[in-house]
Amino acid sequence: MECSHIPEINYRKFSDNIHSKVVAERIPIDGTIETSYRCNLNCVHCYCNLPARDKTAVQQELSFREICDIVDQIVKEGCLWLSFTGGEPLIRKDFIDIYSYAKKKGLIITLLTNGTLITPEIADYLQEWPPFSAEITLYGITRKTYESVTRVPGSFERCLEGINLLLERKVPLKLKTTVTSLNKHELWEIKEYVESLGIEFRFDPVLNPRLDGSQEPCRFRISPEEVVELDLADEKRLQTWREFCQKFWGPPQSDKLYVCGAGLSSFLINPYGELYMCLLSRNPGHNLRQGSFKEGWRDFIPEILEQKPEGEYKCAKCDLFSLCNQCPGWAQLETGSKNKPIDYLCQITNLRAEALRKEVKRK
């Protein structure tokens, strides 16, 4: 009997096809689990890191069995893609057990790590049971710059060692950079180094406050002018903005407060079992130790999605909305109100729009 031909499609098309169908059905296909807020580094810009040996955090974190139960629940509800992050996920001694459980459930896993805790044994395991990708943040191309961000001596060499261990084993790897005032001068050298390895590279030049409301990370922001300069200097990034602008130009086509797509197919679970729509919208949360994931996804998150702006919500009428990173959760952290625009982001957006207009005229 002749086997029928199974057509092949590239990953991007496969992913886009699935996501376009599940959003309408509100299936939680994309998940993120923060396994711990603890980290062995002390990065100046981090939104959540706690000391590696924080006893209170250890006591409050979900146990291995609790995480396994949550994985069972999200798989049952349709989750396919799952990211593990932190803090630093590898700070947990049972992380490989957690990873293995999720992997054997058929989940497509992304591991977000600083790379400094990757050992030959962990790299060997990831070679045998590879993630969809491991993502490591490289904060500098020199020890001085990297460790000015992480504030931990010796972390630069350990990060490079972790990267090399994964490269040697051909574990799918992506490298990225968070751009701060401390490392901006090395950005293009970092990019050149990463691409010389044949690895995909991206960067994020915009910092948000800590989850506890501290504005300390904002001290290390680069200026709005510098953010836009980076947009224009990187052709791939610029093209993304062009396409996004052409597709979504104009004010949001909704009377709701949240119009970003969070909570339609994606979710986040913190180290203590609280379910949220996304990384930044943390108030309130649904406690999975007291209720099920299904209840939170079906009842709790839709209530948040139905929220409408209060008072004079300027973002609802802004033609530049598609070029902006404004987010109600971020606004609450930075201004104390979900309805108040973040001035720093407004400045970036106006400069970005002006730059794109000039480019269109030039062409």
Residues 6+ apart with CB under 8 A from 344: 218, 221, 224, 334
Mean pLDDT of 45-70: 96
Geometric angle at alpha carbon 150, from 165 and 45, rounded to 5°: 120
pLDDT for the residue 248: 63
pLDDT for the residue 44: 98
pLDDT beyond 80 at 247 = no
Please tell us whether the domain made up of 25-222+258-306 is placed in CATH 3.40.50.1110.
no
Would you place residue 4 in the very low, low, confident or very high pLDDT band (cuts 50, 70, 90)?
low
Nearest Cα neighbor of 210 from 332, 70, 296 is 332
Q: What is the CA radius of gyration of the chain?
A: 21
pLDDT for the residue 43: 98
| Identity at 344, one-letter amino acid code | Y
pTM of this structure: 0.93
Could you give the count of Cα atoms lying within 13 Å of 356 in the half-sphere of its Cβ?
21
pLDDT beyond 60 at 1 = no
**Average pLDDT along the chain:** 92
pLDDT for the residue 319: 85
User: For 6-57, how does the pLDDT look when each residue is reduced to its tens digit (9 = 90+)?
Assistant: 677 777 777 777 777 777 789 999 999 999 999 999 999 999 989 999 999 9
**Weakest mean pLDDT among 110-119, 193-202, 237-246, 307-316:** 237-246
pLDDT for the residue 5: 64
SS3 breakdown of the chain: % helix, strand, coil, rounded to 5? 45, 10, 40
CA–CA dist 280, 283 (Å, integer): 9
pLDDT beyond 60 at 3 = no
pLDDT for the residue 9: 73
Count other C-beta atoms under 10 Å from residue 21's C-beta: 12
Residues 6+ apart with CB under 8 A from 202: 174, 176, 177
User: For 293-307, how does the pLDDT look when each residue is reduced to its tens digit (9 = 90+)?
Assistant: 999 999 999 999 999
Could you give the count of Cα atoms lying within 13 Å of 11 in the half-sphere of its Cβ?
3
Concatenated DSSP letters of 246-278: HHH-SS-S-SSS--S-TTTSEEEE-TTSEEESS
- The DSSP letter of residue 136 is E
**Weakest mean pLDDT among 12-16, 172-176, 337-341:** 12-16
Nearest Cα neighbor of 82 from 93, 94, 68, 92 is 68
Residues 6+ apart with CB under 8 A from 235: none
